[in-house]
Amino acid sequence: MGLRSKRVGYTEARKRRGAFYRDNWWALTLLSTCAFIWLIPAALFLPAPWRDYVIGATVAIVVLLSIFFAGTFTGAWNRWMGGVAEDNTSESLKRFKRQGYRIYENVPADGYDIDHVLVGVGGILALETKWSSMPLGVDWKRSDQMQRWLGVTQARSRRIRVVARRPVTPVLVVWGPAAHDLPEGLSEVGGVWVVIPRRGELDLEALLACDYTPDDVADITRRLDKYVATVTPIADRPPSTPRVNRAAS
């Protein structure tokens, strides 16, 4: 059974939107006031069918704009899609759970979380899941985005190696348009295995080449269970949300 299964991306996206609404209530009030002023002549002078359409459209625009601003200014949209990508990875790992593997999700560390840790007789995989709307290009291995992702994946796998006291294979799973220029399956880049889903499935079997005994697996999971129980999940920590600059408005 996996631990810490609460999606950090979804939770942080909701927290960021909520913090944005609280911190920028004045901007939302101003937007609503402008919409109300606009609706006064529409309500007084337009005939019934058109009046209803204008009022309904104005209310919808105000709601959509507030959601758009909250998602754009806080990065909540990207966090939400990151949560979707993590869900996709989690679904792909379920077949390993049926084979007796343990799956840890959103394992917290120093200011970040490790998306998935797969533990079993075949070894330990530390999986970092990424989603991006921007393709990485043909020379994707050298792209700045990929280099950042590789560094993050390496650093987070090291934390699991320290806790488990066993070798850990770092794995980067890429979803979304960013994966369009990447070959499906496995690619080794700078000591990290980059995995592109093949028809929604992750080909990880080739990375599970260890031959751990049940006692080895029990020792690893005991160490990870103890570690997870002593740290605060990232999703439970307060978000930092930028305010709208009133002077710039």
Domains present along the chain, CATH in parentheses: 8-76 (no CATH), 78-236 (3.40.1350)
Residue-averaged pLDDT of the chain: 78
Task: Write down the pLDDT at residue 60.
Answer: 80
Find the range with the poorest average confidence among 24-28, 88-92, 182-186. Answer: 24-28
Distances in Å between the Cα of 219 and the Cα atoms of 116, 162, 213 are: 18, 14, 10
Residue 61 to residue 65: CA distance in whole angstroms: 6
Does the pTM surpass 0.85? The reply is no
pLDDT at 240 over 50: no
Q: Which amino acid is at 37?
A: I
CB 166 within 8 A of CB 204: no
- C-alpha 170/C-alpha 194 separation (Å) is 9
Per the listing, tokens 């075949």 go with 122
pLDDT digits (tens, 9 = 90+) for 183-225: 888 889 989 999 988 777 888 999 999 999 999 999 999 999 9
| H or E segment to which residue 73 belongs | helix 48-74
Q: In the prediction, which pLDDT does 163 show? A: 93
Alpha helix segments (H runs only) across 133-213: 144-164
For strands 169-175 and 192-196, give the pairing: parallel
Tell me the pLDDT tens digit for each residue of 41-86.
Answer: 777 777 777 777 777 887 887 777 776 665 565 555 566 666 777 8
Nearest of 184, 238, 247, 185 to residue 15 by alpha carbon: 238
Query: Is residue 186 within a helix (H) or strand (E), and if so which, with residue range?
Result: strand 185-189
Query: How sure is the predictor about 238, in pLDDT bands with cuts at 50, 70 and 90?
Result: very low
Task: Give the pLDDT score at 76.
Answer: 53
